[in-house]
Amino acid sequence: MRKAALHVAAGVLTLAAAAPALAGENDPLIINGQIEITTRTAAPAHLDGHLSEIRSGWTFRTDETQVMQMDDFDNPAMIYVDAATDAWNTVEGSADKSCASCHEGPESLAGFRATTPKWNAEAGAVWTQEMYVNNCRTERMGAEAWDWNGQDMRNMTALLASVSRGMPVNVAIDGPAAETWEKGREMYYTRFGQLELSCANCHEDNYDNLIRADHLSQGQINAFPAYRLKDTNLVSVHNRFRGCIRDTRAATFAVGSPEFIALELYVASRGNGLSVEGPSVRN
Amino acid sequence: MRTALASVVALTLCVGVAQADTITPEDVMFDYGEVAQSLTGTPGDAANGIKVMTNRGLGNCIACHQVTALEEYPYHGEVGPSLDGAGDRWTPEQLRGIVANAKEMFPDSIMPSFYKRSGYIRVGDAFTGKAPANESDITTLLTAQEIEDVVAFLVTLKD
């Protein structure tokens, strides 16, 4: 309820402040008239000059799609954030706890999205947001794990992204995460499937080009989860990976697989310096 | 060894259904990327070549290449070079080689190899995302005759 009122206030402010609500690829993305999003910035050093500038997928979309993300009132993904906020406060499991029991408000996890996937020393592995969420559920709440790609999990990742919006993506690629990162990098440049396409073929060598009617982006994941208009729902990072590799006529990898965890770390690192932007709106 | 055996079986099957003078993907002779000999011995049909080039389920060449002569078929891509004038720039033998397997002439090309059926990394069963029941069941993206048909159209593209 309070949230709805805030949305209204934000909507009014935006109407008052912004003149025509159109955006171009060089225009800044400011959400709700207040959260400034870095959609273009210098590429991180570890890209070794493969890209000079990194760009959010937002810069490749049409005006109509871009505008939907400029105000939470227009962003169809925000209903899932609201659903996750309810889930956040819901006591579940044998320990009689909700997320809020330990973390208070979701804002307490601001920055989490910006730094995941990250090395989990206790587990001795790189963990994504989904793994942390499920660990909380099974180990602290005594609740059932959520399906990695299920609605509940996608909603929760949207909420976690939303409280980090505007913060720079900054995943660590060195130290104990280096091995996983290297594995992800190798995948990025591997030409999979009968079409023999690597991620780089389209998203590094050909971004900004049309492939049939589709405007190729850099494949950045700073804005995930994304609300895809064609799916009319949130899409997780791994589900997008799965679809891309399937589209090379390959035997794709599973959501939550070690391969996709490695790829997620690597692709996230390619966006170090862009803002966390999810939940975003894409076509 | 098992793969070799499977190939032999596949070859035998292919020979059974295809015309006797169709050259199998494994037997295509590339010479600096060119293929001198027709893959089928049957002259290409340029009209069918257009269909192959514009149909998403076939070659879908315009997904990546702009072709002014095919303007009536919408959404031409920008990933590969325009094919306008391709018939002036390339010989039919070169065009055949490029369409069959562009990587013979341009090793790093993004262009898929349309007349190839093995040597892939994690090849799938078409767009299902699943592994094929048997990798030797993988068929070429285009048939030998479809390659000839595309070449027959491409040679008509003169500046």
Report the percentage of chain A scoring pLDDT > 70: 91
Q: Is A199 a catalytic residue?
A: no
User: What's the pLDDT tens digit per position in B51-95?
Assistant: 999 999 999 999 999 999 999 999 999 999 999 999 999 999 999
Only one residue has tokens 């909700």, namely A98
Q: Tell me, what amino acid is at B23?
A: I
Q: Are the C-beta atoms of residues B115 and B142 closer than 8 Å to each other?
A: yes
Which pLDDT value is given to residue A18? 43
Closest CA to B157 of B13, B49, B58: B49
Phi-psi region of A45 (alpha: psi -120 to 50; beta: other; left: phi over 0): alpha
Interface test with A, best of B101, B104, B120 (most A CBs within 10 A): B120
- Grouping H, G, I as helix, E, B as strand and the rest as coil, residue A169 is coil
User: What's the pLDDT tens digit per position in B125-134?
Assistant: 999 999 999 9
pTM: 0.90
For chain B, domains (ranges, CATH) are 24-154 (1.10.760.10)
Using the Cβ of A192 and the Cβ atoms of chain B, whether some distance falls under 8 Å is answered with yes
Q: Do B123 and A247 touch (CB under 8 A)?
A: no
Chain B partners within 8 Å of A247 (Cβ): 127
Which pLDDT value is given to residue A2? 43
Confidence of residue B144 (pLDDT cuts 50, 70, 90): very high
> What number is the average pLDDT over the span A136-153?
98
The H or E element that residue A127 is part of is: strand A125-127
> What number is the average pLDDT over the span B96-114?
98
Residue A136 dihedral angles phi and psi, to the nearest 5°: -60, -45
Confidence of residue A52 (pLDDT cuts 50, 70, 90): very high
Total length of chain A: 283
Confidence of residue A28 (pLDDT cuts 50, 70, 90): confident
Residue B121 dihedral angles phi and psi, to the nearest 5°: -100, 115
Interface test with B, best of A149, A191, A192, A194 (most B CBs within 10 A): A194
Which pLDDT value is given to residue A26? 72
Q: Do B121 and A192 touch (CB under 8 A)?
A: yes
In angstroms, the separation between the Cα of residue A198 and the nearest Cα of chain B is: 9
Confidence of residue A1 (pLDDT cuts 50, 70, 90): very low
Q: How many CA atoms lie within 13 A of A259 on its CB side?
A: 13
Which pLDDT value is given to residue A6? 45
Beta strands at A210-211 and A226-228: parallel, antiparallel or unpaired? unpaired
Which pLDDT value is given to residue A153? 98
Which of B79, B124, B129 is the closest to A194 by Cβ?
B124
Q: Cα B48 to the chain's mean position, in Å? A: 14
Interface test with A, best of B60, B79, B111, B114 (most A CBs within 10 A): B79
Chain A partners within 8 Å of B112 (Cβ): 194-197
Which of A194, A210, A252 is the closest to B77 by Cβ?
A210
Q: Do A196 and B120 touch (CB under 8 A)?
A: yes
Torsion on CA atoms A205, A208, A212, A214, rounded to nearest 10: 120
Chain A partners within 8 Å of B127 (Cβ): 246-247, 249
Q: What angle do CA A232, A235, A238 make, to 5 degrees?
A: 160
> What number is the average pLDDT over the span A36-52?
97
In angstroms, the separation between the Cα of residue A217 and the nearest Cα of chain B is: 13
User: What's the pLDDT tens digit per position in B20-58?
Assistant: 689 999 999 999 999 999 999 999 999 999 999 999 999
In angstroms, the separation between the Cα of residue B99 and the nearest Cα of chain A is: 13
Q: In angstroms, what CA-CA distances link A26 with A23, A61, A216, A278? A: 8, 11, 16, 19
Which pLDDT value is given to residue B58? 97
Which pLDDT value is given to residue A3? 46
User: What's the pLDDT tens digit per position in A178-226?
Assistant: 999 999 999 999 999 999 999 999 999 999 999 999 999 999 999 999 9
Which pLDDT value is given to residue B159? 87
Residue B15 has pLDDT above 60, yes or no: no
For residue B115, what is the nearest residue in chain A, using CA coordinates? A194
Report the percentage of chain B scoring pLDDT > 70: 87
Using the Cβ of A215 and the Cβ atoms of chain B, whether some distance falls under 8 Å is answered with no
- Return the axis-axis angle of helices A178-188 and A258-270, rounded to nearest 10°: 90
Chain B partners within 8 Å of A246 (Cβ): 124, 127-129
Phi-psi region of A255 (alpha: psi -120 to 50; beta: other; left: phi over 0): beta
Which pLDDT value is given to residue A223? 98
Phi-psi region of A111 (alpha: psi -120 to 50; beta: other; left: phi over 0): left
* Cα A12 from Cα A233, distance rounded (Å): 26
Which of A190, A206, A252 is the closest to B110 by Cβ?
A206
* Cα B24 from Cα A92, distance rounded (Å): 62
> What number is the average pLDDT over the span A90-95?
98
* Cα A212 from Cα B62, distance rounded (Å): 7
| Residues of chain B contacting A, Cβ within 8 Å | 56, 60, 62-64, 74-79, 110, 112-113, 120-132, 138, 141
In angstroms, the separation between the Cα of residue A213 and the nearest Cα of chain B is: 5
Residue A16 has pLDDT above 50, yes or no: no
Report the percentage of chain A scoring pLDDT > 90: 90
